[in-house]
Structure 1
Amino acid sequence: MQVRTTRLEEEDAKIIYQETAGLAIITIHRPQLKNALTANMWEQLAKIALQSLDNPKNKVLLLRGSGENFTAGSDIKEFNSISLEKAEEAFVLMEKTISTIEQLPLPVIGVINGPAMGAGLELALACDIRIGSDKSRLGIPVGKLGITINNKFAKRLVDLVGPSATKDFVFTGRMYKAEEAYRAGLLNYLVPEKDLNKFAIRMGKLVAGMSPASLLAIKRSVQECIDSVPVLWNSSTTFVDHNDFPEGVRAFVEKRQPRFSRY
């Protein structure tokens, strides 16, 4: 097994890359912050995912988080120390990374143990198949932070749970537990935590044994359906609201309820 670790500037943050028996495995490791990703980590994740294509023996990519978390998404505390312009750039970079994962010519299997929240949920939805443990928790609490998502971001949820459930996710900030996520189609498979990694490896090897031509064809066909929806955001629309976002981030850092302004 080949193992390569990319250590990052963030404290105890690294992205671990492994290759074994036709499988490429990426593990997000930042346990002290629930594997939350900074802008730098999003950028490195995209680069490492693309590097999996360098080895023609790789047939499937497994994407997972270390410990009892997939990823809490973007590092909200980082936003408290940067400008709105830099925060907007970070969100654009995040969406580019998620789209990179989504558009890889390899099948991508998300291995979800524990929370996959916010951008972490979107990253999970960019995977072709999601295997969750009984500790999986999925949610997108952007309404608590003043984050404004565009239609391509929302479409990943709409395609699985429908328009009303997608709006309910944001309106209420609710979180789906494992069984509910499985019933809703957010998880393709649900297994006990102790069996998660073995099941994921077994599933990866099963997919790797299929016709590469067939796998690539279905990925391209599905991607064409996704890409048929234009991104509605224009130059006057952003991922962050200039009033609500700073208040939402401050409230998150100060561990209090946000006091949003009225329009």
Structure 2
Amino acid sequence: MQVRTMRLEKEDAKIIYQETAGLAIITIHRPQLKNALTANMWTQLSKIALQALENPKNKVLLVRGSGENFTAGSDIKEFNSISLEKAEEAFIHMEKTISTIENLPIPVIGIINGPAMGAGLELALACDIRIGSDKARMGIPVGKLGITINNKFAKRLVDLVGPSATKDLVFTGRIYKAEEAYKAGMLNYLVAEKDLNKFSIRMGKLVEGMSPASLLAIKRSVKECVDSVPVLWEGSTPFVDPNDFPEGVRAFVEKRKPQFTRN
């Protein structure tokens, strides 16, 4: 097994890349902050995902988080120290990374053990198949942060759970437990935590044994069937509200309820 580790921050934050018997495995590791990704980590995640294609023996990519978390999404505390413009750029780049993984020409399997929140949920939904443990939790509580998700973010949810459930997730900030996520279609498989890694590798090997031409064709055909999201117009602000976002981030950092103003 080939193992490469990219240490990305002064703290214990890294992305671990492994290759074994036709499988490439990416592990997000930042346990002290629920595997939340900094802007730098999002950049490296995209690069590493593309590197998986450099070895023709890699037929399937597995994406997981270390410990009992998938990822809490972006590091919200990081946004508290940058401008709105930089925050907007960070969100746009984050979406590009998620789309990169979504559009890889090989199957991508997400392994969800613990919370997958916000952008972490979007990363999970960008995977072709999601395998969750009984500890999986999935939600997108952006309403507490003043994050205004764009149509590409929304569409991934709408395609799986429908328009009303998508709005409910944002309106209420509710978090689906593992069984709820499975019934809603966010998880394709639900297994006990102790069996998660073994089951996921077995599933990866099953997919790896299929015709590469068939796998690529179905990815492309499904995308053509469902992909109707228009390109965002230049100058739009798809992620950051100039009033609610700063208050939401400050409230998150200060561990208090946000006080949003009403127009």
Q: TM-score, normalised by structure 2?
A: 0.98
Distance 1:90 1:114 in 2: 25
Counterpart of 1:88 in structure 2: which amino acid? E
Counterparts of 1:204 and 1:17 in 2: how far apart (Å)? 16
Shift of residue 115, structure 1, vs aligned partner: 0.1
* Distance (Å, rounded) in 1 between the aligned partners of 2:144 and 2:222: 32
Q: What corresponds to 1:127 in structure 2?
A: 127
Instruction: Check if 1:208 corresponds to 2:208.
Output: yes
TM-superposition CA deviations, 1:18-71 (whole Å, max 9, x none): 000100000000000000001100000000000000000000000000000000
Q: Note if contact 2:30-2:66 (Cα within 8 Å) is conserved in structure 1.
A: yes
Could you tell me which amino acid in structure 2 is paired with residue 210 of structure 1? Answer: M
Alignment partner, residue 251 of structure 1: 251
Q: Which runs of 5+ in 1 are unaligned?
A: none
SS of 1:218 mapped into structure 2: helix
Instruction: Give 1:75 shift.
Output: 0.2
Q: What is the correspondence of 1:6-155 to structure 2 with a 5 Å cutoff?
A: 6-155=6-155
Once residues 95 and 38 of structure 2 are traced to their aligned partners in structure 1, the CA distance between those partners, rounded to angstroms, is 13
Q: Is this contact kept in 2: 1:38–1:75, CA < 8 A? A: yes
Q: Could you say which residue in structure 1 is the equivalent of 2:227?
A: 227
Q: Does 1:172 align with 2:138?
A: no
8 Å contact 1:22–1:59 — kept in the other structure? yes
Q: Does the residue aligned with 1:179 lie in a helix, a strand or coil?
A: helix
Contact 1:147 1:241 in 2 (8 A): yes
Q: CA RMSD in A?
A: 0.9
Q: Is the 8 A contact 1:59 1:208 kept in 2?
A: yes
Secondary structure, counterpart of 2:64 in structure 1: strand
Q: Is the 8 A contact 1:150 1:233 kept in 2?
A: no
Structure 1 residue 11: Cα displacement:
1.2
| Greater Cα shift, 2-11 or 165-174 | 2-11
Deviation at 1:150, TM superposition (A): 0.9
Q: Which amino acid aligns with 1:115?
A: P
Q: In the alignment, is the contact (CA less than 8 A) between 2:4 and 2:18 conserved in 1?
A: yes
**What's the offset of the Cα at 1:221?**
1.1
What amino acid sits opposite 2:28 in the alignment? I
Instruction: Indicate if the aligned counterparts of 1:79 and 1:87 stay in contact, CA closer than 8 A.
Output: yes
| Other-structure match for 2:199 | 199
How far 1:152 sits from its partner (Å)?
Answer: 1.2
Mapped partners of 2:45, 2:71: distance in 1: 12
TM-fit CA distance, 1:237: 2.5
- 1:228, distance to aligned residue in structure 2 (A): 2.6
